[in-house]
Amino acid sequence: MEGVKPMRAPFEGKLVRLRAREPEDEPYHNQWFNAWDVVRYLGRRYPISHAQSRKMLEPDPRYGWSIGFIIETLLEGDPIGQVFLGSASAEDRSAELGISIGDKSRWDGGYGTDAMRTVCRFGFDMMHLHRIELGVYADNERAVHVYERIGFRTEGRRREMYFKEGVYHDTLIMGLLEGELVDG
């Protein structure tokens, strides 16, 4: 019908779809988390085994109630990364977010921004969250740019939190409240 917007599933964006994680995702999950360019800005530093990456695809009790997705391209259905909302609290209606586009060839193609918008919208509209929080290395300029673009605000700085490649890195704490998501 003219003038009626096509229905978009709540786990679909303009470029990506978020789908459940499967045991079959293990091989590229293992590749993503062994690629230094991908993990240098994550809280990881050691190579991971296939057994470890198999476990990573299962819910992690350290993050309490959590939901993890594989990010795949809408066009080709290619898995390109992962995103999760963890440590969710029903009382506070808050959760922590983590994302990585593990397929580096897809960086700067708009996928990270679209996946962030999609998972935040999902959190607010489907999980009834009020607040989404994340931590990001202050020198991860690409990620900070993406988070600010969709409405995240810097709320604090944890100084010299991580020691990697011989230097300390500060971490920014960023937060997004319901109603603050900037649509693209």
Ligand X SMILES: CC(C)(COP(=O)(O)OP(=O)(O)OC[C@H]1O[C@@H](n2cnc3c(N)ncnc32)[C@H](O)[C@@H]1OP(=O)(O)O)[C@@H](O)C(=O)NCCC(=O)NCCS
C-beta of 91: minimal distance to ligand X in Å? 26
Q: Which of 34, 52, 140, 154 binds ligand X (CB under 6 A)?
A: 140
Q: Which residue has the tokens 């809408």?
A: 74
The answer to whether the CB of 91 falls within 8 A of the CB of 38 is no
Q: Give residues 97-116 in contact with ligand X (rule: CB under 6 A).
A: 99-101, 107-113
Using CB positions, name the residue nearest to ligand X.
112
CA gap 166, 17 in Å, rounded: 37
Q: Which of 57, 119, 136, 176 binds ligand X (CB under 6 A)?
A: 136
Binding letters toward ligand X, positions 32-51, x by CB under 6 A: ------x--xx---------
C-beta of 116: minimal distance to ligand X in Å? 7
CA gap 75, 57 in Å, rounded: 24
CA gap 32, 26 in Å, rounded: 10
Using the minimum distance from each CB to ligand X, give the nearer residue, 86 or 109: 109
Q: Does 176 bind ligand X (CB under 6 A)?
A: no
- Chain center to CA of 54: 19
CA gap 94, 39 in Å, rounded: 25
Q: Does 154 bind ligand X (CB under 6 A)?
A: no
Q: For residue 153, list its beta bridge partners.
A: 175
The answer to whether the CB of 41 falls within 8 A of the CB of 137 is yes
C-beta of 113: minimal distance to ligand X in Å? 3
* Contact residues for ligand X, defined by CB under 6 A: 38, 41-42, 99-101, 107-113, 136, 140-143, 145-146
